[in-house]
C-alpha cells in the first residue's frame, strides 16, 4: 500500500496543470548541460561496421519472420546502427547536434545500452559485457567472462541516466526517461526483425539488471549521474536465462556535467519502481501489414520529429493504417487512444476513442463521460463527440501548435490503478514503456506513409482527463502524440552522422 501511495504521489505532483507546471528549474542552465554520450575511460573500443543493405520495411511485420541472420560482428553492428545509432547531424547558426534512430524527449537521450554476448569473431573469443557508444558506433569492452554463453543468443540491457532529463525537466523527467526507454526498446525490436531475430522482454528483477551491467558499482559513477536499470531483452532463437556474474569492472564512467540540481523525489520514484518486470498479455495484432515501401534502413534514418505541421488533410486509409500499426507492438495491451481528429478525409472532426484491446471496452464506457455517443465507426474506433477540437488539442498539449495543426493528435489512455495494483511500482514504469514502444512504432509507420509525427510529453494531465469526464485513477493518460505533414525548416542543414 505504501508503494502505491508513493506512486500516486509522484504521479500527481508531476502533473502539468494550467496554473502550475511540474517543478523544474524553469530555465536552461547551459553551464551544466549534460554530455549526451557516456564513455568508459580506458575501455577498449571496438568500431562496428556492416553492409548497408536492409530489407523492405513492410517485410519486417509479416507473420513469418525474415531469414535468421547469424549472430556475428556485422549483424550486431547493423542491429545497433538501426536502433540506437546516430541518424543525422543537424547544424544551424554555428551549432550542431546529433539525432538518433530512437526519438528522445528534448533530444537528451537518457537511455544507455549494454550488450551481453557470447564469443563473436571480431569482438572477443570470450563472452563479453560491452557498452554501446553511439557517437563512435562502437562497443566499449567492459568485461570478458570466463564462462561461456549460449551461441546465437545475446542480451541487451537498457538503463537511464535520469540526470540528463532532470537537467531540463526537473521532477517530471522520470516519466520521460521511461517513455524514452520504451522508444529504445521498440527501435531495437524493429532492428532485430530486420535480421529475422526475435526480441523478448525478460521478467527479471531490476537489481539483477543493475548487477549484470555493473550499474550497482556506484563508485564508478558520479553520484548524481548513476544509471537506473530499465529493461533486459533476450535476442535470438535461444531460451537461455543463464546470466553471467559480473565482477568489479575496471573502468569508470565519464562525468557528464560539472554540477547538478537535485530533485529528491527522483530517488523516491526510482526506489518505488524496482522489482520483477511484469509479463503483459499480448494484444491481438490483427491482419494489418504496412504497404510495400522503401528499405527499412532508409525509413529508420529518415524518421524525424515534426516541429511544425502544415495543417493538411490525410486519407482515411493512412489514418486506419496508423491505428492498426500500433497493434504491432504486442506487449501494449494496457493502452488506448483518445483522438482529436482534425483533418482525416471522410471522417468527421471530433473526439474519438480507439479501443486497442476489447477487454477494456465496458470499463471505459463506465469511466468516461456518460453523455458520449459511442458510435462505432470502424473496428475498435468510437466517435465520442462531434466537433472542432483543435483548440482543446493545443490547450492540453501545453499550448503546442503541432497538436492543432497535425491531421490528428491523441492521448494514450492507460488502464492505470489496476496495473499498479497487480504489478506494483514496476507496473507504473511498464505503462510508460508501453506508451514509448507505441510512439516509436508510429513514428516509423508515419514515415513510411510519407507523414510525420511528434511525441508530446508536455501535456496538461487533468485538463485532458476533465475533457473525458475522468474523475478517478482507473485510467490515466501517460503520453500524447500528433501526426500530420511537417513543415521542414530549410535553414537547418543535415549531414551524415558517420
Ligand atoms: C517521450 C518524448 C516526449 C516528447 N515531447 C515533445 C514535446 O512535448 N514537444 C515537442 O515538440 N517534441 C517532443 N518530443 C520530440 C523530441 O523533442 C524529439 O524526439 C527530439 O528532439 C529528437 O528529435 P528526433 O525525434 O527528430 O530524432 C518528444 C519525444 C519523446 C520521445
Nearest atom in ligand 1 to 102's CA: 27
Closest CA to 334 of 289, 295, 278, 376: 278
How many angstroms separate the CA atoms of 263 and 45, rounded?
Answer: 34
Summarised one tens digit per residue, pLDDT across range 185-219 is 999 999 999 999 999 999 999 999 999 999 999 99
Enumerate residues lining ligand 1, CB below 6 A.
99, 103-107, 176, 179-180, 183, 304-305, 400, 454-458
Whole-number average pLDDT of the chain: 96
| 100, β-bridge pairs | 86
Contact 296, 194 (CB under 8 A): yes
Confidence of residue 284 (pLDDT cuts 50, 70, 90): confident
Summarised one tens digit per residue, pLDDT across range 65-117 is 899 999 999 999 999 999 999 999 999 999 999 999 999 999 999 999 999 99
**Whole-structure pTM over 0.95, yes or no?**
yes
Contact 113, 81 (CB under 8 A): no
The alpha carbon of 73 and the centre of ligand 1 are apart by a number of angstroms equal to: 32
State the pLDDT at residue 390.
Answer: 98
Q: Is the pLDDT of residue 248 over 70?
A: yes
State the pLDDT at residue 2.
Answer: 73
Confidence of residue 1 (pLDDT cuts 50, 70, 90): low
State the pLDDT at residue 293.
Answer: 87
The alpha carbon of 424 and the centre of ligand 1 are apart by a number of angstroms equal to: 28
Bridge pairing between strands 350-354 and 381-386: antiparallel
Q: 425-448 and 316-326 helices cross at what angle (nearest 10)?
A: 150
Closest CA to 181 of 415, 435, 397: 435
Enter the C-alpha cell of residue 494. 543535415
Domains located in the chain, CATH noted: 24-272 (3.40.109.10), 296-484 (3.40.109.10)
State the pLDDT at residue 379.
Answer: 94
Confidence of residue 285 (pLDDT cuts 50, 70, 90): confident
State the pLDDT at residue 239.
Answer: 79
When pLDDT is averaged across residues 438-451 and rounded to a whole number, the result is 98
Q: Is the pLDDT of residue 222 over 80?
A: yes
Summarised one tens digit per residue, pLDDT across range 454-468 is 999 999 999 999 999
Amino acid at each position: 500500500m505504501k508503494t502505491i501511495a508513493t506512486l500516486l504521489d509522484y504521479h500527481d505532483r508531476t502533473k502539468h496543470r494550467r496554473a502550475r507546471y511540474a517543478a523544474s528549474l524553469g530555465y536552461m542552465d547551459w553551464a551544466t548541460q549534460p554530455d549526451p554520450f557516456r564513455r568508459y575511460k580506458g575501455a577498449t573500443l571496438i568500431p562496428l561496421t556492416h553492409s548497408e543493405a536492409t530489407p523492405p520495411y513492410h517485410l519486417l511485420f509479416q507473420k513469418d519472420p525474415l531469414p535468421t541472420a547469424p549472430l556475428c560482428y556485422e549483424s550486431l553492428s547493423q542491429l545497433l546502427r538501426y536502433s540506437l545509432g546516430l541518424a543525422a547531424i543537424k547544424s544551424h547558426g554555428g551549432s550542431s547536434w546529433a539525432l538518433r534512430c530512437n526519438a528522445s524527449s528534448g533530444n537528451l537521450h537518457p537511455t544507455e545500452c549494454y550488450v551481453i554476448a557470447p564469443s563473436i569473431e571480431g569482438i572477443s573469443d570470450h563472452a563479453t559485457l560491452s557498452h554501446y557508444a553511439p557517437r563512435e558506433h562502437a562497443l566499449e569492452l567492459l568485461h570478458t567472462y570466463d564462462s561461456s554463453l549460449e551461441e546465437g543468443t545475446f542480451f541487451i540491457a537498457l538503463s537511464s541516466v535520469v540526470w540528463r532529463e532532470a537537467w531540463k525537466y526537473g521532477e517530471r523527467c522520470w516519466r520521460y526517461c521511461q517513455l524514452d526507454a520504451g522508444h529504445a526498446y521498440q527501435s531495437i525490436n524493429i532492428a532485430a526483425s530486420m535480421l529475422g531475430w526475435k526480441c523478448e522482454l525478460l521478467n527479471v528483477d531490476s537489481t539483477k539488471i543493475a548487477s549484470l551491467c555493473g550499474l550497482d558499482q556506484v563508485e564508478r559513477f558520479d553520484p548524481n549521474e548513476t544509471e537506473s536499470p530499465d529493461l533486459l531483452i533476450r535476442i535470438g532463437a535461444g531460451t537461455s536465462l543463464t546470466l553471467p556474474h559480473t565482477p568489479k569492472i575496471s573502468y569508470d564512467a565519464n562525468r557528464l556535467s560539472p554540477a547538478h540540481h537535485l530533485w529528491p523525489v527522483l530517488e523516491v520514484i526510482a526506489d518505488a519502481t524496482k522489482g520483477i518486470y511484469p509479463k503483459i498479455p499480448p494484444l491481438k495484432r490483427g491482419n494489418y501489414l504496412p504497404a510495400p515501401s522503401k528499405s527499412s534502413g532508409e525509413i529508420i534514418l529518415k524518421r524525424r520529429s515534426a516541429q511544425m505541421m502544415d495543417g493538411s488533410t490525410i486519407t482515411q486509409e493512412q489514418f486506419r493504417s496508423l491505428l492498426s500499426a500500433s497493434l504491432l507492438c504486442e506487449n501494449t495491451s494496457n493502452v488506448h487512444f483518445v483522438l482529436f481528429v482534425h483533418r482525416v478525409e471522410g471522417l468527421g472532426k471530433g473526439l474519438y476513442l480507439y479501443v486497442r484491446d476489447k477487454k477494456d471496452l465496458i470499463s471505459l464506457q463506465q469511466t468516461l463521460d456518460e453523455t458520449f455517443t459511442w458510435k462505432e465507426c470502424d473496428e475498435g474506433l468510437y466517435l465520442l463527440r462531434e466537433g472542432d477540437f483543435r483548440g482543446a488539442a493545443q490547450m492540453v498539449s501545453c499550448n503546442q501548435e503541432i497538436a492543432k495543426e497535425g491531421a490528428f493528435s491523441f492521448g494514450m489512455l492507460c488502464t492505470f490503478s489496476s496495473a499498479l495494483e497487480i504489478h506494483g511500482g514496476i507496473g507504473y514504469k511498464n505503462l510508460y514503456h508501453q506508451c514509448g514502444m507505441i510512439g516509436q512504432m508510429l513514428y516509423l509507420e508515419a514515415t513510411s506513409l510519407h507523414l510525420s509525427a511528434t511525441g508530446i510529453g508536455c501535456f496538461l494531465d487533468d485538463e485532458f482527463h476533465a475533457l473525458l469526464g475522468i474523475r478517478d485513477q482507473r485510467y490515466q493518460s501517460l503520453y500524447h502524440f500528433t501526426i500530420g505533414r511537417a513543415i521542414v525548416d530549410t535553414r537547418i542543414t543535415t549531414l551524415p552522422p558517420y
